[in-house]
Amino acid sequence: MANSAKGFDVRKQWGFTTIAAVCFVLLYLPVVLLVVYSFNAGTSVAIWEGFSLQWYRSAWDNQQVQEATVRSLVLAFWASLIATSAAVLAALATTRVRPFKGYSTVFAAINQPLMVPEIVTAVALLILFAGIKVQTGYTGLGYLVLAHSAFCIPFAYLPIRARLQGMDLTLEQAASDLYASPFQVFRRITLPQLWPGILAGAMLAFVISLDDVVITEFVKSAGQDTLPTYMLGQLRRVVTPEVNAISTVLLAISVTMVIAFFFLSRVKK
State how far the Cα of 22 lies from the Cα of 130, in Å rounded to an integer: 45
First to last CA, the chain: 42
- The domain ranges of the chain are 11-52, 63-265
Eight-class DSSP state of 40: B
State how far the Cα of 69 lies from the Cα of 237, in Å rounded to an integer: 20
| Confidence (pLDDT) at 267 | 54
State how far the Cα of 39 lies from the Cα of 53, in Å rounded to an integer: 6
State how far the Cα of 143 lies from the Cα of 152, in Å rounded to an integer: 14
State how far the Cα of 181 lies from the Cα of 114, in Å rounded to an integer: 35
Note if the pTM is more than 0.75: yes
- Taking the CA atoms of residue 176, residue 180, residue 184 and residue 189 in that order, the dihedral angle to the nearest 10 degrees is -40
**For residues 59 and 125, is the Cβ–Cβ distance under 8 A?**
no
User: DSSP E strands: which ranges in 38-189?
Assistant: none
> For the chain, give me the number of helices (H) and strands (E)?
14, 0
Fold of 63-265: MetI-like fold (1.10.3720)
The type of residue at 66 is Q
CA of residue 196 relative to chain centroid, distance:
16
State how far the Cα of 190 lies from the Cα of 180, in Å rounded to an integer: 12
Please report, in tens digits, the pLDDT of each residue of the chain (269 residues total).
444 556 677 777 777 888 888 998 998 898 898 888 889 888 877 788 888 888 899 888 888 888 998 999 999 999 999 999 999 999 988 887 777 777 778 888 888 888 888 899 999 999 999 999 989 988 889 999 999 999 999 999 998 998 888 887 788 888 887 778 888 888 888 888 888 889 889 988 998 998 899 999 999 988 889 988 988 888 777 777 888 888 898 888 888 877 877 776 665 54
State how far the Cα of 86 lies from the Cα of 193, in Å rounded to an integer: 18
CA of residue 41 relative to chain centroid, distance:
33
State how far the Cα of 38 lies from the Cα of 43, in Å rounded to an integer: 10
Query: Shortest CA distance to 113 belongs to which of 183, 194, 189, 205?
Result: 205
